[in-house]
Amino acid sequence: MSKPTPLSGFPELLPAQRAVEQQVIDTLRSTFELYGFAGIETRAVEPLDQLLRKGDTSKEVYLLRRLHETSEEGHAGMGLHFDLTVPFARYVLENAGKLEFPFRRYQIQKAWRGERPQEGRFREFAQADIDIVGRDVLPFHHDVEVTRVMVDALTRLSFLPAFRLQVNNRKLIQGFYAGLGLEDLDEVMRIVDKLDKLPVEKVHQMLVDEAGATSEQADRVLSLATIRTGDDSFVAQVRGLRVSHPLLDEGLDELAALVRGVADLTSDRVRVEADLSIARGLDYYTGTVFETRLDGYESMGSICSGGRYDALASDGKITYPGVGISLGVSRVLVPLLARTGLTASRSVPSAVLVALADEDSRPASEAVAAALRARSIPCEVAPTAAKFGKQIRVAERRGIPFVWFPQADGGHQVKDIRDGNQVDADPSVWTPSPEDLRPQVVPGA
RNA sequence: GUGGGCGUAGCUCAGCUGGUAGAGCAUCGCGUUGUGGUCGCGAGGGUCGCGGGUUCAAGUCCCGUCGCUCACCCCA
């Protein structure tokens, strides 16, 4: 068999990098749980009609098909989920009778899309989602809450570059467009969303050509979209544009409340700003919308996005409004590992390699390892009774900081191979420093 | 889906108008016979992505194909 080649869009990590990813996942999980979010996992597949509920991007869904498929459609009527929101909406409906509302959950799982891979865009990728969903009603303060949770989680990932959380509110922009007398609000929003890719003049022209705006209306739409403030001063700027509409007022109040509600979390690494150009494409958001950009990684687009949907799910009688944010774990991590060489301080969990004098004394070395493990110190015994120099090298290659030498007289010594310091030690007492106990995330060279 | 770039050792790459497959790093061994790293000496390691064609002769030229990659499109 010839050597297998990597599959484009299906990233796999070496152990040291996986350790970094694991640490990210652990941090996210513990942060989400600090705020009382319950963890769930949904199955990898959903019925096709569920997945395609929101429009025809069907090409990007991976279908399931038995090898001996005989049905007329040629597939099993199921596909891999392409995000965690659609499965969650289905899960809420399915288990509505057993859940307590408002229901807060986190979900860290893989998702799949059949897109062409690019930096930060994969066919198989991990996402971390938090959502709060209510029954019939969900007060606005939850919008502030999910924002605070995600900002907290991102802040705890101390090796991330600085980032900027951009927030907007669809009521605000839709109310503004309606107040201007525009009709096709969705189309206007879709075009304005392209501002980060296309020049202003081009967007202006599209507004006139495709959204039925007058040149003057387009000017004012663009005036709104260029407003960007780190505090609630955007309210005065919008008022200055002299458009009025009840929905606009509502959106302004909400966005101002959100910006004020997270102001205490900002720092030099974390900025939160009202950015009135953010619209989030054509999806079902109805109020708050978020995007997040990493400094130095602007080309990667948003690494963390979400918003409010007044109808996350509905069974016809009861509607379940929700608000949530989704962090692209693979999207941010894989490019960061590749570009910066970020890695873990060692490729194995072991803090100690217990040396082996000869095969006959393996039980003695295993006993040392057992004593260390009893006190939760990860360790392993040398694979062979090679010369001690080679056993030390085994540890060095893996980044294991300590080598333990059982002595012929029954005593013990432990050597820190980084400085060569070797001291007497007792396996029932000796403990490495906290930094050495677990692999640490270390910046690249 | 469209267009460009690239496939040679574990990794990074060199290889001219066609003439017996190379370097650095890494690995392994020895010097140093059971305490590593430095240094010196040595060794192993290749279907040149795959298939076909031209030729006395192809890593090199031609055709095809597969893969990777970048950009576009798209991005719930």
Q: Which helix (H) or strand (E) holds A391?
A: helix A388-398
Q: What are the two backbone dihedrals, phi and then psi, of residue A420, each rounded to the nearest 5 degrees?
A: 80, 0
Crossing angle, helix A200-211 and helix A215-225, to 10 degrees?
130
Please give the nucleotide, over all strands, whose C1' is closest to the CA of residue A358: B34
Whether any strand B atom is under 7 angstroms from the Cβ of A388: the reply reads yes
For residue A1, what pLDDT is reported? 45
For residue A297, what pLDDT is reported? 86
Whether any strand B atom is under 7 angstroms from the Cβ of A301: the reply reads yes
Within 7 Å of a protein beta carbon, the nucleotides of strand B are 1-2, 27-29, 33-37, 47, 49, 67-76
Let me know if the fold of A162-295 is the same as that of A352-442.
Answer: no
Whether any strand B atom is under 7 angstroms from the Cβ of A45: the reply reads no
For residue A292, what pLDDT is reported? 93
Q: Is A74 left (phi over 0), alpha (psi -120 to 50) or beta?
A: left
Q: How high is the ipTM of this complex?
A: 0.87
Average pLDDT over residues A70-84: 86
Distance of C1' in B29 from CA in A390, Å: 13
For residue A282, what pLDDT is reported? 61
A:274-293 Cβ neighbours of strand B under 7 Å:
280-283
| A36, amino acid identity | G
Of the ranges A127-136, A163-172, A294-303, A394-403, which one carries the lowest mean pLDDT score?
A294-303
pLDDT confidence band for A59 (50 / 70 / 90): low
Is the confidence at residue A56, as pLDDT, over 60? no
Residue-averaged pLDDT of chain A? 91
Q: What are the two backbone dihedrals, phi and then psi, of residue A278, each rounded to the nearest 5 degrees?
A: -75, 125
Cα–Cα dist A72/A70, whole Å: 7
Over residues A305-338, the pLDDT tens digits come to 999 999 999 999 999 999 999 999 999 999 888 8
A266 bridge partner residues? none
Domains of chain A, residue spans? 10-44+81-154+312-344, 162-295, 352-442
Whether any strand B atom is under 7 angstroms from the Cβ of A398: the reply reads no
Please give the nucleotide, over all strands, whose C1' is closest to the CA of residue A57: B76
Average pLDDT over residues A381-407: 94
Average pLDDT over residues A132-155: 96
Select A162-295's CATH number: 3.40.50.880, 3.30.930.10, 1.10.287.70, 3.40.50.720: 3.30.930.10
Query: Could you tell me whether strands A270-275 and A163-169 are parallel, antiparallel, or unpaired per DSSP bridges?
Result: parallel
Average pLDDT over residues A174-201: 86
pLDDT confidence band for A284 (50 / 70 / 90): confident
Question: Could you tell me what percent of chain A has a pLDDT over 70?
Answer: 97
CATH architecture observed for domain A10-44+81-154+312-344: 2-Layer Sandwich (3.30)
CA of residue A360 relative to chain centroid, distance: 50
- A149 token code pair: 């949770």
CATH number of A352-442: 3.40.50.800
3-state secondary structure of A442: strand
